[in-house]
Amino acid sequence: MAISLEKGQRVSLEKNGGQLSRVCVGVNWGAIEKKGFFGTKKKAVDLDASVGFFDANKTLMDVVYFGQLKSKDGSVSHSGDDRTGDVDGDDGLDNEIITVELNRVPAEVAHVAVLLNSFQGDDFATIPFATVRLYEGTPERVDSVLADYNIANDAKFKGAVSMVLGVLYRHNSGWKFKAVGDPTQDKGLEDTLKTTASSYL
C-alpha cells in the first residue's frame, strides 16, 4: 500500500514491526519541446538527484550527487548522471535513482536530506512529466511509495530550478521521514544544501 504524504507529515520507516533497511529516491522526466521555424525540436534536460548527510549540529558531512556516486561510508549509492531525460517520451522508469541503506548510515549522521536540482536552469514547470519520489524497494523494484511529487503539474514549482523532497532523520533507534516538497530560490546544489540546513532540519 503506497502512502502519499502531505507537506510536513512524518512517517516512521517501519514494516511488520521492524525498521526498513533500504529506501530509494527515483526521479523521472522528459525532454522539453522547442518550437522553431523548421518545426518542433526536443531539448535534452539534465535534472540531478542528490542526498546530503548532516550531523546533529546541521553541519554538512557528505554529499552523494553526480560528481560522487557513493557516500564515503558506502551506505548511499547513485545510479549515475542522466543528462537528457526521456527524449522519446515517458518510458515509466526513473532516470536517476539513489539508494539509501538505512542500517549502514554512520551513527553520527542525524539527517539525510533528499534534493533535486535542474543543472542547466530549466524551469521545473516546463519539464514534461517531471516527478520525484521516495519509495521502499530497490532500483529495479518499487514496493511502496512513501512520498511523491508531480513537479511538472504543480504550479508552486513554476520558476524554480531546485527543491527539497524531504528529510530522513533519526528517531529513537530508528528512522522517520519528513515530507517537504518545497521549491527553493537556489540555483545550484551547494546553495540548496545551505538552505536545507538553515530551513528544513
* 3-class state of residue 185 by DSSP: coil
Lowest mean pLDDT of 16-25, 47-56, 60-69, 157-166, name the range: 16-25
DSSP-derived pairing of the beta strands 76-78 and 96-101? antiparallel
- For residue 5, the one-letter residue type is L
pTM of the model: 0.90
- Range with the largest mean pLDDT of 6-15, 17-26, 114-123: 114-123
Domains located in the chain, CATH noted: 10-194 (2.60.60.30)
Query: Which strands sit side by side in the sheet containing 162-171, from one edge to the other?
Result: 10-12, 174-184, 162-171, 111-118, 47-54, 60-64
How high is the mean pLDDT of the chain? 90
Whole-angstrom distance, CA of residue 195 vs CA of residue 201: 10
Which residues have a Cβ under 8 Å from the Cβ of 199 and sit 6 or more positions away? Answer: none
Q: Which three cell numbers stand for residue 117?
A: 536540482
105: Cβ contacts below 8 Å, ≥ 6 apart: 53, 73, 75, 76, 112
Check residue 1 and give its pLDDT: 32
Which residue has better confidence, 13 or 113?
Answer: 113
Q: Which residue has the higher pLDDT, 18 or 131?
A: 131
Q: Which of 46-60, 82-96, 138-152 has the highest mean pLDDT?
A: 46-60
Tell me the average pLDDT across 57-79: 97
Look at residue 73 and tell me whether its pLDDT is greater than 90. yes
Quick one: which of 32, 53, 49 has its CA closest to 129? Answer: 32
What is residue 33's predicted lDDT score, i.e. its pLDDT? Answer: 82
